[in-house]
Chains A and B, each alone.
Chain A
Amino acid sequence: MTLSFHRLANPARFQRLARRALPWSWAVAVLATGSGFVWGLALSPADYQQGDTVRVMYVHVPAAWMAMACYALMAVLSASFLVWKHQLAGIAALAAAPVGACFTAIALITGSLWGKPTWGTWWVWDARLTSVLVLFFLYLGYLALAGAFDDRMRGLRAASLLALVGIINLPIIKFSVDWWNTLHQPASILRAGGPSIHASMLWPLMITALGFAAFLVAILLVRIRSELAQWRIEALMRRHTRDVP
């Protein structure tokens, strides 16, 4: 496991692997997301309480899962960048950050759109909403820090450390926000989704989630490759300006 992980740190090997994996992940992304959406948005039954509003879930829930998975991925990559100095890992974390931020934003926006008809308000300071909002802020902090330095490698290293500090903090934030919410408004929390979910809704949800995950992989591969190209171009330009006085 570790061995193959380290082997992946070789950019040339990664490029070969990415070229082979890319068409597959795009295919799964398009097919699964497409069929999941058709099933979820058109064919699946409406909820007996929420009506058609429940269909927001087929976008919202997978997006929220991807938002969290992306941060965990970012933290693992940042750790391997700081510990083993795998540049590719750092670059991959940097490539993952805006994607994760977008998924977080999608989760927040769709959640808000769902909340208006269901809860009667765009936003409540519910524990889950609040911790996802803080997650969004962590993404923004990472991106701002990574982009704040003239030396991009310095920015990447600082941001990687921040990602690690963030992942240690996330459970504490989650716990504190849960605690805070129950203290402030006991028993008024509306149950989202009901006790359990019927198979007619679970299947399209899972298929959409698979599609989103495949999309995440595909877009990450594309972004990592473009980042690699960008760093290479910059290195070449630096060498060029050094050679030509």
Chain B
Amino acid sequence: MTTFGALVRRDLALATRRGGDAALTLVFFVVAVAVFPFGVGPDPELLARIAAGIIWVTALLASMTSLERLYRADLEDGSLEIMALSAQPLELQVAAKCLAHWMTSGLPVVVLSPLMAMLLNLDVAAWWILVVSLAIGTPILSLIGSIGAALVLGARKSGALVGLIVLPLQVPVMIFGIGAVEALLGGAPVLPPLLIEAAILIAGTPLALLASAVALRMAIE
């Protein structure tokens, strides 16, 4: 567990210090959400209708911005090989990396989402559902993203490639995340989509850790 904590602390330090991704991801999220009204028009009712969708899609893209670098620096400076050779299971270390990635890309999005919901005129009653759905969903984004980031290690053109392979896999999470908000606005029960989202998180976590570890071992062979 000390390895786990040390890895999380290291990645958090790397992400939050100068040249790190955390601040950039946050600013990207805010700016990207703010761009949508310019595209679809300032009509408050339209914005309220699509607010959850905008925030979720932008959260997806925001988690994508720092994905490509999730393992690349570790591969380049050799720490990935140390991680693979250590006595700790690689899956556990992947979990630490994912946790750190989520804390710097998912958590800020969760915290900021009420502010964005306000900007987009989302019904105040739906704010907390949006926050909960993002809180359950964004860890899945990091976990699936970790598979993609591990798979493209060493590829010639990894930036757009991560998006291409990760985005289709993230569709279900987004559907149920937005579905919870839509259910509340439409008067349907909110719990089922949230529970399905949670089920995807619970079932997906071990699978994603396993797949990421296999992909990482491929990269360092």
Q: Which positions in A face B, CB cutoff 8 Å? A: 82, 134, 137-138, 140-142, 144-145, 148-151, 154-155, 157-158, 161-162, 164-166, 168-169, 172-173, 175-177, 179-180, 183-184
With both beta carbons as reference points, the residue of chain A lying nearest to B166 in the complex is identified as A141
A82-B171 Cα distance, complex, nearest whole Å: 26
Which residues of A are found within 8 Å of B167, using beta-carbon distances? 137
9 contacts between A and B (CB under 8 A): A141-B168, A145-B165, A148-B161, A151-B154, A161-B218, A162-B165, A173-B168, A176-B172, A176-B175
A183, B151: Cβ atoms under 8 Å? no
User: Smallest CB–CB gap between A163 and chain B, Å?
Assistant: 11
Name A183's contact: one of B154, B171, B183, B211 (CB within 8 Å).
Answer: B183
B218, A158: Cβ atoms under 8 Å? yes
Is B33 on the interface with A (CB-CB < 8 A)?
no
Interface residues of B in 109-132 (CB under 8 A from A): none
Name B152's contact: one of A82, A138, A148, A172 (CB within 8 Å).
Answer: A148
Known: A141-B164, A144-B164, A148-B158. A158 touches B172 (CB 8 A): no
Is B176 on the interface with A (CB-CB < 8 A)?
yes
Is B57 on the interface with A (CB-CB < 8 A)?
no
Considering the complex of A and B, which 10 residue pairs feature the smallest CB-CB distances, nearest first?
A176-B172, A141-B165, A148-B155, A137-B168, A180-B175, A176-B175, A158-B151, A172-B172, A141-B164, A134-B168
The number of chain B residues with a CB under 8 A from chain A is 31
With both beta carbons as reference points, the residue of chain B lying nearest to A164 in the complex is identified as B211
> Which DSSP category, helix, strand, loop or mixed, fits chain B's interface?
helix
Known A173-B169, A183-B183; further 4 A-B contacts with Cβ < 8 A? A137-B168, A158-B218, A173-B168, A179-B175
Known: A158-B215, A161-B211, A172-B200. A145 touches B151 (CB 8 A): yes
Name A149's contact: one of B156, B183, B200, B211 (CB within 8 Å).
Answer: B156
Which residues of A are found within 8 Å of B164, using beta-carbon distances? 137, 140-141, 144
With both beta carbons as reference points, the residue of chain B lying nearest to A175 in the complex is identified as B172
Which residues of A are found within 8 Å of B200, using beta-carbon distances? 172
A21-B71 Cα distance, complex, nearest whole Å: 45
Name A180's contact: one of B154, B155, B179 (CB within 8 Å).
Answer: B179
User: Smallest CB–CB gap between B214 and chain A, Å?
Assistant: 6
A166, B169: Cβ atoms under 8 Å? yes
A134, B171: Cβ atoms under 8 Å? yes
B179, A183: Cβ atoms under 8 Å? yes
User: Smallest CB–CB gap between A213 and chain B, Å?
Assistant: 26
